Chains A and B, each alone.
Chain A
Amino acid sequence: MTMPPPPPQAYQAPPQQQGRGAPAGRYASPIPVRTPGLGDAIASEWTKIRSVRSTMWTLGVMIVLLLGIGLLVAFVVSLSDAPAEDVPVLTLGFFGVLLSSICVITLGVLTIASEYGTGMIRTTLTACPSRARMLIAKSVVFFLLAFTITTVTTGVVGVLQTAMLDGATPDTGLWVRSTVGIGLYVATLGLLSLAVGTIVRHSAGAITIMIAVVLLPLVLAIFMFSPSLASVQEALFEWSIPNQIGAIYDVSMTSSGPTGWEPLWALLGVTAVTMGAAFLALDRRDV
């Protein structure tokens, strides 16, 4: 860049040569040109997500909830007189995961909706006009971050819980599901929140919608006393998000419904469809 050093003193009026007698040559920048790609967009989104307070807050609170509730439950269970072998140790992580999923939902929504709130989205899309690239970069960065934090923390909680309680040794399948499986499920739930945030473009609105999605089916089902609604009630119980998380842990309110990895596939499907809608909205709408 050939511009002189800092302002305001620096920009002296140039000689009166601009205007109609202006230089014919176009400006050519000395900065080397390298065509940016998805990697650059991901680097950019990583800078964004690590440089705002809300990331630290939501993830910090999430880790505290997972550890705190996980250890508290294990402690309470260790005080009881029930025979130790009957305690499915890893499933005790369920309570912390349910609460901490709210944190991931918040972060997922904020990842995009805060850009609309602050006006940053205009700058972002001016710098990266490809809506697909921007959305993919945001999703990748958010998903990897949420997945890593959740998996590592649930892993630590699981180890501590099994150390505190000498119950039945969990099998490998449950170990994988209660760490990697939960990590994938919670991060996907966050991704769904990101997609909803993209469509709604308003932080509070999108967070409210997502909390309703998590809690409302279960709450509604509880109050469906009418026998004619029994089948609806059962479906709501089975596919409510708390029950899906429970199913990953092998603890379910219902005898039927999703088991094992099934909740993850279901949520992935819903998220993929919502993300498609989010992309279309982003692509078509004025910013």
Chain B
Amino acid sequence: MIELDGLTKRFGNKVAVDHLSCRVRPGMVTGFLGPNGAGKSTTMRMMLDLDNPTSGTVRIDGRHYRDLQEPLKHIGALLDAKSMHGGRSAYNNLLCLAQSNSIPASRVSHVLDTVGLSAVAKKKSKGFSLGMGQRLGIAAALLGDPEILMFDEPVNGLDPEGIHWIRNLMKTLAAEGRTIFVSSHLMSEMALTADHLIVIGQGKLLADTSMADFIHKNSRSFVRMRSPEQERLRDLLHAEGVVAVEAGNGTLEIDGEEPERLGELAGRHGIVLHELSAQRASLEEAFMQMTAGSVEYHAHSDRDGAPPPQAGPQWGEQWNQQRPGDTAGDRTTGV
């Protein structure tokens, strides 16, 4: 369990992290989401006591990081792949970490085996590819067999196989009852791995919600209609009590209606349609709106402020079924 309480970090005039309070719960993958520069890495560095908070506290299992006697057995962290001495072999890089926490040296070979680097254990780590460096960082995080694991943008620069491996690794570790805290700026990546979401923008907490809830609230589905007789169509819809919102380019967006009904309605009144399609706002879009909203707060209030009338629970289920799959792309486009 990691608890953040009013965590704030200022660099000169710039507020990198602004009164962040949340907790990271055990037994699940918590996604830490925010655009680049939102303060994710700074927050993680403060969790590890690398940066001093301007105010506020972080507690790991109820204690300040500096008071942890054997920190690697509580929390393992992958900050970035370049946190090792390149002139030292992979084995020695991990050995000196193990020794400082009185972890038996046999663990070093074990974790190298776990991440698939046994064959290059004696090689200098500066010759490693980005993916191998990432694996070495993960091996370091796993060294103390910790209850909490923290990964900062772990899939950056990895090939699809590596990404797949990390996703499954995180799920397996969480299923063992560990606390997994993983940062990303990609919503699609989080949708595949995270059970819980903490979203920040400009250092402020924007959302602290379960993944299912986030999807439920944010996957707005609507019908798009385009017609050369737009005025008539609008009047007709109005008369039928259907709320249509002008969306530019001569299109109308209608929430909470089936495309079948709208098509039949237009047909009965002889209105020509150039487009009639069911649309779904992607999670990526919802995320972008949410974080853009941290600049101008009210800009997004009409979108996700009020609960969408007909946000389908089928979306959450669909997501669960799709989870083992790898394609994040098909849900970011309209149906």
| Chain B residues, CB < 8 A from A20 | 28, 195, 210, 212
| Chain B residues, CB < 8 A from A17 | 175
Q: Name 21 A/B residue pairs within 8 A (Cβ), A-sorted.
A: A2-B176, A8-B164, A11-B169, A14-B171, A14-B175, A18-B174, A22-B174, A27-B177, A29-B144, A31-B144, A33-B73, A34-B70, A41-B100, A47-B92, A119-B84, A122-B50, A123-B84, A127-B100, A127-B101, A128-B71, A130-B66
Instruction: Please determine whether B95 and A47 come into contact, CB atoms closer than 8 angstroms.
Output: yes
Partner-binding segment picked from A50-58, A59-67, A149-157, A195-203: A50-58
- A225-259 contact mask (Cβ, 8 Å, vs B): 1 or 0: 00000000000000000000000000000000000
Instruction: Please determine whether A27 and B178 come into contact, CB atoms closer than 8 angstroms.
Output: yes
- B76-110 contact mask (Cβ, 8 Å, vs A): 1 or 0: 01011011111111001101110111111001001
Judge if A173 is at the interface, Cβ distance under 8 Å: no
| Chain A residues, CB < 8 A from B320 | 16
Judge if A40 is at the interface, Cβ distance under 8 Å: yes
The distance in angstroms between the C-alpha atoms of A273 and B240, with both chains bound, is 84
Min C-beta distance of A115 to chain B, whole Å: 7
Min C-beta distance of B100 to chain A, whole Å: 4
Judge if B49 is at the interface, Cβ distance under 8 Å: yes
Give the nearest-CB partner of A54 in chain B. B87
Starting from the known contacts A31-B107, A52-B88, 6 additional A-B residue pairs (CB-CB under 8 Å) come to A22-B195, A23-B177, A26-B147, A40-B101, A47-B99, A48-B88
Instruction: Please determine whether B102 and A120 come into contact, CB atoms closer than 8 angstroms.
Output: no
Partner-binding segment picked from B111-119, B252-260, B263-271, B283-291: B111-119
Cross-interface CB contact of B324 among A13, A22, A47, A130, cutoff 8 Å: A13
The distance in angstroms between the C-alpha atoms of A25 and B80, with both chains bound, is 30
Task: State the main secondary structure of chain A at its contact with B.
Answer: loop
Interface size of B as a range: 35 or more
Min C-beta distance of A122 to chain B, whole Å: 5
Judge if B301 is at the interface, Cβ distance under 8 Å: no
Instruction: Please determine whether B83 and A119 come into contact, CB atoms closer than 8 angstroms.
Output: yes
- A128-164 contact mask (Cβ, 8 Å, vs B): 1 or 0: 1110000000000000000000000000000000000
Instruction: Please determine whether A19 and B83 come into contact, CB atoms closer than 8 angstroms.
Output: no
The distance in angstroms between the C-alpha atoms of A130 and B212, with both chains bound, is 40
Judge if A80 is at the interface, Cβ distance under 8 Å: no
| Chain A residues, CB < 8 A from B55 | none
Chain A interface (Cβ < 8 Å from any Cβ of B): 1-8, 11-14, 16-20, 22-36, 40-41, 43-45, 47-48, 51-54, 114-115, 118-120, 122-130, 284, 286-287
Instruction: Please determine whether B49 and A27 come into contact, CB atoms closer than 8 angstroms.
Output: no
| Chain B residues, CB < 8 A from A40 | 99-102
Instruction: Please determine whether A129 and B177 come into contact, CB atoms closer than 8 angstroms.
Output: no
- Which of B87, B101, B164, B210 has its CB near the most chain A CB atoms (within 10 A)? B101
Cross-interface CB contact of A27 among B26, B77, B162, cutoff 8 Å: B26
| Chain A residues, CB < 8 A from B210 | 20
Judge if B191 is at the interface, Cβ distance under 8 Å: no
Give the nearest-CB partner of B161 in chain A. A8
Judge if B172 is at the interface, Cβ distance under 8 Å: yes
CB neighbors of A among B200-239 (8 A) = 210-212
Instruction: Please determine whether B49 and A129 come into contact, CB atoms closer than 8 angstroms.
Output: yes
The distance in angstroms between the C-alpha atoms of A6 and B102, with both chains bound, is 24
Q: Which 10 residue pairs spanning A and B have beta carbons closest together?
A: A11-B168, A44-B100, A27-B177, A22-B27, A29-B145, A51-B92, A36-B102, A44-B99, A47-B96, A8-B165
| Chain B residues, CB < 8 A from A122 | 45, 48, 50, 79, 83
Give the nearest-CB partner of A4 in chain B. B172
| Chain B residues, CB < 8 A from A4 | 172
Cross-interface CB contact of A6 among B69, B95, B118, B172, cutoff 8 Å: B118
Instruction: Please determine whether A118 and B84 come into contact, CB atoms closer than 8 angstroms.
Output: yes
Instruction: Please determine whether B69 and A36 come into contact, CB atoms closer than 8 angstroms.
Output: yes
- B138-171 contact mask (Cβ, 8 Å, vs A): 1 or 0: 0010101111000000000000011011001101
Judge if B181 is at the interface, Cβ distance under 8 Å: no
Min C-beta distance of A287 to chain B, whole Å: 4
Judge if B303 is at the interface, Cβ distance under 8 Å: no
| Chain B residues, CB < 8 A from A6 | 113-116, 118
